[in-house]
Structure 1
Amino acid sequence: MFQSTIKKQIEIFTSRGNEYLAQAVKSGQKDAYAKAIQEFVKSYKFALLLNSKDGMEQICAFNLGAAHIAGGDTARGINVLHTVLEHETFVKTPSILPNSQSEKGDVYFNLAIGYEKIGDIEKASKFYQLALLAYGNNEKNQQKAAETNLKLANIYNKQNELSEARKHFLHASDIYQKLQDTENMVLALICQANAAVSDSTVSREECIRLLGSCCKKSAALKHANLQGKILCEVGLMYATLSCLNRALLCFEKSIRLCNKNTNPRRRAIALQNSGAILNSMGFYGESIPRHSESAQMHGLLGNRNAQGQSFCNLAFAQSQLQMYEEASESYLHALQAFRDTEDKQGQWQCHEGLGSIAFNSGSLDKAVEHFTFAVSIQTQKDSLESRKRIVGKLTNAIEMRADKKIVSPKLQLAIEENKEKNESM
């Protein structure tokens, strides 16, 4: 009678704890985590009174430890979970209880999360690996196995162990495919492809094959905005591989899929990237409408720096078409945006562009002024190549200005008259 009453109380406290925990996860409110922990403490204290070997004490300890980690008291949560590991019930049985939340894999998984939070990556990796072994091929644990593979893959990715990262991203993708979870399957594939593109040991052909697979499988996604987001990411990776036509195709599809009302941010990014690719391919006339719309949308969204980038790309396209007045205005818009966001690199790029326009228009004093300012605000983070380029332009402008000042007005007039006479002969 006594034990049945205690078990009933444990069930009540545990149920309340789970409700508060779900609420906390959804809302992020700390007081909800505190309430969940209070309930789990009560259930744990009652479980200690049972002094039984059915695993109830370990279940309650697990709930309490996991709640502490989720709520931010990570060190305490890790300590509580280690008491679960050390208990004889945990050591002797394949699982604490048949309940899926009580399996060894969950204990290992939550310990791994805890260690990852405090920056002990070595122990985090160890416990994620143990979680994978515990989950095994059991069908009911495959969702958790996929999540664990993703966790491990991200750790390896951050440590630049790209081969291991790719392996676990692929495992996660395969599991999601078996679970018919198309969305997560494609997202895992994208991560795998990104790790491959970043890995110098993977051939360009293999990277292109992976990206092609991502494009093909993304077509099965039900949500157009998500498909547009994925195509934009694939496009960026194609651009990294200098596959500009494929990159452009992805960005253009992304523009069509991302509605400006339901997903304006993603559409603005796709427009910006499409315009940048068109610029690099020399299709300046086609790029101008994309830069203009991108700048407008980024402005409405309050993305000031991205708006500056779009204006800068627009200015470059206009200058290449000798639309110097329009280009100057666009560069000035970009310059103000970069000043607002304290983007030094963006600022010197604008001054370089304005300097080139002034030089081509014959305004050598302005060209010298802009090139000088561009060089003066460059930092050590900027490439030596860019500095040499601007210094070269500045030198040309100074030399040409000096040459013009040496020639007297009378001599200049005589040169022009002689030129006209030669042309008429």
Structure 2
Amino acid sequence: MASDASPPGEEEVKVRRRRRRREELRKTEDIEELTSAGHKALQEGRPEDALRHFKEALKAATQLQDSRVLRACSFNLGAAYVEAGRPQKGLDLLQQAQPGPKANRVPDLQFNLALAHNALGQSQEAAASFLQAAQLYRSQGDGRSEGDACMELSRCYSRTQDWSLAVQGFLRAAESYRVAAMLDSAASALKEAGSHMIQSDEFSQDDISGVLTECLSLTDSISDQRILGELYLSVGVSYCRLRCFQEAVQCFQLALSPVTQCPPLLASVLHNLGAALNSLGQFSPAVGYHRLAAGLYGSLGGRGDQARCFTNLAFACSQLGDEEEAAESFILALQGFKDTEDHLGQVQVCESLAECYLKQRKQQKAVQLYKQALSALSHCQDSGGFQDRLVEKLTAALRMSAGRQV
């Protein structure tokens, strides 16, 4: 006769299954909590805490025996190792996260693999993975991530001095950021593109100016004052390299207000503004900027940059006929270059100061400076054609001095 009763032991099996499901659910929740805590730690700049959370999550995933969850936890831990400055450990885990051909179809994995290769100095492998990531992000319509991948790709090319490829990457990043309505990031990408175009011989001045103009057209979209100031400064420097000094001056002047609260940036802007005005022959306004920059660099402890400012100040004063202040500024510059052991800087200042003394008919001091310049030149690996010129000038100064003594 049939019976409705369950066979012996079936109820126990059902209980064990329910218990196992509850245990799996609990472990899944624990993994989610640990993963969330790990991401939060990374965002807050606590990489060691993040590693601890992700390690615990991976351990729980191993016990769960779910390959999808295991891959995700391996990925998180690997990415955290890369961010914590342990790229080889991170690379090993990332390669375990998605082995086989499927790895080539996961953009975040490719991006983090690229970061690991990059940190290990493997530029070629890093570039290949960044390019793969960018292509995958584009196929998903993720303009922001594509832009980020292209920026990193271009930096790889920049390190290997592949200027043209770097430019292509930065321009593609700008296009991707535009699609994602991230105009501030697009402006930064264009800034980098213009700077790198100057390094290459494949672009005309019109090409470069066009990119810099496009970059400046996006400045209204930048709300962060520091980023805005850095952009104006960088574009201004690019214009200087193109010898478009009037455009450079305009950029540096626009940079002044945004960098007011950032002394190091303000010093750099003042320094470059004064130098650009020197190049335009506008020495009177340049003098004020040179003095401000030199004082600011002094308060920041930037002796080398301060010395360069004093050199620019001396040149401007000399052009204005104030040989006394020019000489004083050259002396200050010389001391700064001595303090920083910049031998080439010493050579250049000694030569200029000697000429300044010659104008004041102080031949003996000029002779001493030319000798000092030759002594400093002996510490330079490349004389750069200085020696013959200095010897010739020293000889002439000695003759003038001897003539005055007679």
Relative to the length of structure 1, the TM-score reads 0.84
**Partner residue of 1:280?**
279
> Against the structure 1 CA distance between its residues 278 and 383, is the aligned structure 2 distance closer, same or farther, given a 3 Å change threshold?
farther
Task: State the 1:160 CA deviation.
Answer: 1.9
Separation in 1, partners of 2:156, 2:243: 28
* Residue type of the alignment partner of 2:210: R
Tell me which moved more, 289-298 or 275-284. 275-284
User: RMSD value over aligned CA atoms?
Assistant: 2.3
Within 5 Å, give how 1:123-202 maps onto structure 2. 123-139=125-141, 141-202=142-203
8 Å Cα contact 1:3/1:50 also seen in 2: no
Contact 1:232-1:270 within 8 A present in 2 as well: yes
User: What secondary structure does 2:222 align onto?
Assistant: coil
What is aligned with 2:390? 390
Alignment of 1:148-297 (within 5 A): 148-259=149-260, 262-297=261-296
Distance 1:251 1:383, change over 3 A: farther
Matches within 5 A, 1:339-350: 339-350=338-349
What SS does the aligned partner of 1:295 have? helix
Query: Retained in 1: the 8 A contact 2:367–2:398?
Result: yes
CA distance in 2 between partners of 1:70 and 1:220 (Å): 30
Q: 1:26 aligns with which of 39, 44, 50?
A: 44
User: Structure 1 pair 257/135, CA: closer, same or farther in 2 (3 Å)?
Assistant: closer
Confirm or deny that 1:71 pairs with 2:89. no
Asked if the contact 1:18–1:36 (Cα under 8 Å) also holds between the matched residues in 2, the reply is no
Give the TM-score normalised by structure 2: 0.88
Tell me the equivalent position of 1:117: 119
State the identity %: 28
Distance of 2:194 and 2:25 partners within structure 1 = 50
For the residues of structure 2 that align with 1:207 and 1:316, how far apart are their CA atoms? 30
Q: For residue 150 of structure 2, what is the amino acid of its counterpart?
A: N
Q: Which amino acid aligns with 2:299?
A: L
Q: Secondary structure at the match of 1:237?
A: helix
Amino acid in structure 1 at the alignment position of 2:214? S
Deviation track 1:236-269 (CA, whole Å, cap 9, x = no partner) reads 111111112211222222224432xx12222221
- Kept in 1: contact 2:41–2:49 (CA 8 A): no
- After TM superposition, the structure 1 = structure 2 runs for residues 355-374 of structure 1, keeping only pairs within 5 Å, are 355-374=354-373
Pairing 1:105–2:107 present: yes
Give the partner amino acid of 1:22.
Answer: K
Aligned to 2:94: 81
Equivalent residue pairs, number: 387
Q: Which residue of 2 aligns with 1:420?
A: none
Given the superposition, is the C-alpha separation of residues 133 and 219 from structure 1 closer, same or farther in structure 2, using an over 3 Å criterion? closer
Do the aligned residues in 2 keep the contact of 1:307 with 1:337 (CA within 8 Å)? yes
Q: Is 1:328–1:354's contact at 8 Å kept on the other side of the alignment?
A: yes
SS of corresponding position for 2:44: helix
1:58 to 49, 71, 74: 71
Bigger mean CA offset, 367-376 vs 123-132: 123-132
Please tell me the residue identity of whatever aligns with 1:375: L
Structure 2: gaps (5+ residues): 1-17
Contact 1:16 1:39 in 2 (8 A): yes
State the Cα distance separating 1:87 from its structure 2 match: 6.3
Q: 1:33 to 1:283 in 2, by over 3 A?
A: closer
Matched with 2:13 is: none
Aligned letter for 2:171? L
CA contact (8 A) 1:6 1:46 kept: no
Residue type of the alignment partner of 2:137:
Y
Q: Which letter maps to 2:399?
A: E
- Judged with a 3 Å threshold, the aligned counterparts in structure 2 of structure 1 residues 389 and 225 are, in CA distance, closer, same or farther, namely farther
Unaligned runs of 5+ in 1: 95-103, 408-425
In structure 2, what residue type is equivalent to 1:119?
G
Cα distance between partner residues in 2 of 1:154 and 1:80: 25
